[in-house]
Structure 1
Amino acid sequence: MTQRTDVLVIGGGQSGLAAGYHLRRLGIEHVILDAQAGAGGAWQHTWDSLRLFSPAAYSSLPGRFMPAQEGEVYPDAAHVVAYLADYEKRYALPVQRGVRVSAVHRDGDHLRVETDSGDWRARAVVSATGTWTRPFLPAAPGRREFQGRRLHTVQYGSPAEFAGQRVIVVGGGNSGAQIAADLAHAGTDLTWVTQRPPRYLPDDIDGRALFDAATARRKALDAGSTDTGGVASLGDIVAVPPVRAARDAGLLPAKPMFTRLTPSGAEWADGTFTEADAVIWCTGFRPALAHFASMRLRGTDGHIATVGTRAADEPRLHLLGYGDWTGPASATLIGVGRPARDAAREIADLLGR
């Protein structure tokens, strides 16, 4: 039996909850489908030492400030999970858990959504599946020949897993720097590899400034002005306290990218070689959009072209939380509120509300 609703939100993490909040405020019937067993989205699966880039008050979803975490300026992932669970309950958001969406199809004046627990028909769909389930691994020479442990950011838990081992961390972004710092503080035999010398943001910059930079860039582009460069113009790495401490203690020297991996380690262009027991790829993610394959909306860059949050070629579809192309800083807690509000308003217009 096919179920029906006005709006179906795919994904119950921070972006899906923000969408639900604004849809609820407008009185629009909606259901949020989430593949996870519990609240918290991807925050349930991060490494143990992960901290937010901003204080709690600057890491909030619309309508509800995140409370401060006792003894911490920058809250940890467990605090975020608890906040999201409370947020969902506080606003009585209609989340159905353990439901995995496999495909979305055009079906007359509706969109039909296939799931592992039956089909849905909706007049509009909001996709908020994020990127965590699509880790990216580059085609580095010898990657498959390496005989040690190979893992991505999503599989990293804590330094305890690597006690007594030699570890190569690949990636010069925030994840690479934070995981390298985590291992370095634990005394791990660490080699940190980056494509270019690490670019740290000034120590006084955190997520608040990043949100402002992303917003200013979006406004400039929308107005036809010169591209400000956004967050990328400031640097690649937010110097959160553990990273700053490791850097200042000289624990984070970075080597250039190796030329290839071998069965037992990595080789560089100058002929040097480092043995390794594990390689951790902190090389980013791609948007989880496979459920739209049959609609043929994705471009060569893997993105769906959007006007704001709305899919350019399908006015009944909105996308939230995948990056700046779906709203300034929309992949962040503080940044997703405005795009979610805009999406809900456009959907209200579509539904004639």
Structure 2
Amino acid sequence: MGRSLYLILNRGLVVFGSFERSTIRDETSKSALIFTTSSLLKFPDTLTETYLQEFVAQQSMTIEFGVDVDRISVVSGNYHLSTNKGAVAARNLFIATGRDRKPIIPAWAGLEHFRGEVIHAAEFGSPQEYDGKRVLVVGSGNSGFDILNHLAKQKPSALWLSSRHGPTLVPKRLFGVTVHRLSPLLACLPTRLADAALAATSYMAFGDLRRFGIGNPTAGGASRLKDGTALASDDGAVRAIKAGTIKVMPELQSFDEDQVHFRDGKLVRQTSLLQRLVTLLISKGSSAISIC
């Protein structure tokens, strides 16, 4: 691997991976590469795939794609990386792989016998790939609702959501204003007040979702943000849940060859979901390592 003053190693094959691109693909694109005071207030509208590609080109950044780092060691004060494309040495190392870098699939009973397809959210790919399929999304956090938002606009033959706890859910926009733009204001509030503000925003936007099977979150949104748990953002999924297009199921308990078992208090319900079932397991992190 060639030497460079500044080098970025990325496991993905493009500047902006497929899952991250799906997260904000409907935001407007802007070509300005310098954030002004006004443009910062419009974040993340300015943070688009086009922007990142233009930024990389303008800065002449050296990026190696498709790189897996197997081992990092320190020799004589320098970092030595072993990768699938050769060795790399650097004086300084920045690791930006995210807190959820390694996909985790729970060890549900019977999963090894299940004949349906099991896909982790990190490998979600294109929403169009799920047209005509029976899809069970497990987990209602940030990644889970992002997937639901996209699948609600597609044509799966059936769509379910199973979750242990309710999410801290906010609308993408409220009264025409992007909710993320209010983040600086929430950051100025004490955590308890910010929790209350987020709960009020959710209720104002969606009403009481418990009658549709979505439970209350285990903690307030601002409190969970401090623990590293992102808010879930709605962009069509709640409408589909209320319409019955997305059916909310109890907590997933176990699998057998052609059925998924759900827990509902002391009751276990069996639902046959064999026909081309895809289970999406929710956990996602970034995959870039920067060294210089």
Q: How would you bin the TM-score normalised by the shorter chain?
A: 0.5 to 0.7
Give the residue type in structure 1 aligned to 2:277: A
Alignment of 1:315-330 (within 5 A): none
Q: Which one of the candidate residues 39, 55, 59 is aligned to 2:15? A: 39
Pair 1:30-2:9 in alignment: no
In 1, the alpha carbon distance for the partners of 2:28 and 2:184 equals 13
In 2, the alpha carbon distance for the partners of 1:139 and 1:211 equals 39
Once the two structures are TM-superposed, the CA of residue 165 in structure 1 deviates from its matched residue by: 3.6
Once the two structures are TM-superposed, the CA of residue 263 in structure 1 deviates from its matched residue by: 0.9
Alignment of 1:138-153 (within 5 A): 138-153=106-121
In 2, the alpha carbon distance for the partners of 1:287 and 1:35 equals 9
In 1, the alpha carbon distance for the partners of 2:58 and 2:99 equals 26
Q: Does the C-alpha gap of structure 1 residues 184 and 274 become closer, same or farther in structure 2, counting only changes over 3 Å?
A: farther
Query: Counterpart of 1:239?
Result: 234
Query: Counterpart of 1:155?
Result: 123
In 1, the alpha carbon distance for the partners of 2:22 and 2:286 equals 25
Q: Any gaps of 5 or more consecutive residues in structure 2? A: 192-220
SS at structure 2 position matched to 1:196: coil
In 2, the alpha carbon distance for the partners of 1:162 and 1:280 equals 11
In 1, the alpha carbon distance for the partners of 2:20 and 2:248 equals 22
Q: Which has the higher contact order (CA 8 A, sep 6+)?
A: 2
Query: Counterpart of 1:80?
Result: 48
What's the Cα RMSD here? 4.4
Q: TM-score, normalised by structure 1?
A: 0.55
Once the two structures are TM-superposed, the CA of residue 170 in structure 1 deviates from its matched residue by: 0.7
Once the two structures are TM-superposed, the CA of residue 284 in structure 1 deviates from its matched residue by: 0.7
Q: Which one of the candidate residues 250, 260, 263 is aligned to 2:254? A: 260
Q: Does the C-alpha gap of structure 1 residues 98 and 239 become closer, same or farther in structure 2, counting only changes over 3 Å?
A: closer
Q: Does the C-alpha gap of structure 1 residues 33 and 161 become closer, same or farther in structure 2, counting only changes over 3 Å?
A: closer
Deviation string, structure 1 residues 23-80 (Cα, Å, up to 9, x no partner): xxxxxx422233444322xx2x2288543697667xx998457xx9xxxx9879xx93
More strand by share: 2
Alignment of 1:6-85 (within 5 A): 29-40=5-16, 43=17, 45-46=18-19, 50-51=23-24, 63-64=34-35, 80-85=48-53
In 1, the alpha carbon distance for the partners of 2:33 and 2:93 equals 20
Query: Counterpart of 2:105?
Result: 137
Once the two structures are TM-superposed, the CA of residue 117 in structure 1 deviates from its matched residue by: 4.0
Q: Which one of the candidate residues 145, 157, 164 is aligned to 1:188? A: 157
Q: Does the C-alpha gap of structure 1 residues 61 and 228 become closer, same or farther in structure 2, counting only changes over 3 Å?
A: farther
Give the residue type in structure 2 aligned to 1:285: K
Once the two structures are TM-superposed, the CA of residue 150 in structure 1 deviates from its matched residue by: 1.2
Query: Counterpart of 2:200?
Result: none
In 2, are the aligned partners of 1:200 and 1:235 still within 8 Å (CA)? no
In 1, are the aligned partners of 2:24 and 2:48 still within 8 Å (CA)? no
In 2, the alpha carbon distance for the partners of 1:96 and 1:52 equals 24
Deviation string, structure 1 residues 297-328 (Cα, Å, up to 9, x no partner): xxxxxxxxxxxxxxxxxxxxxx88xxxxxxxx
Query: Counterpart of 2:215?
Result: none
In 2, are the aligned partners of 1:153 and 1:282 still within 8 Å (CA)? yes
In 1, are the aligned partners of 2:71 and 2:81 still within 8 Å (CA)? yes
Q: TM-score, normalised by structure 2?
A: 0.65
Give the residue type in structure 1 aligned to 2:19: T
In 2, the alpha carbon distance for the partners of 1:216 and 1:125 equals 35
Query: Counterpart of 2:282?
Result: 283
In 2, the alpha carbon distance for the partners of 1:210 and 1:141 equals 41
In 2, the alpha carbon distance for the partners of 1:214 and 1:137 equals 33
In 2, the alpha carbon distance for the partners of 1:39 and 1:228 equals 31
Once the two structures are TM-superposed, the CA of residue 87 in structure 1 deviates from its matched residue by: 0.8
Query: Counterpart of 2:179?
Result: 206
SS at structure 2 position matched to 1:229: helix
Q: Any gaps of 5 or more consecutive residues in structure 1? A: 6-28, 219-226, 290-318, 321-343, 348-353
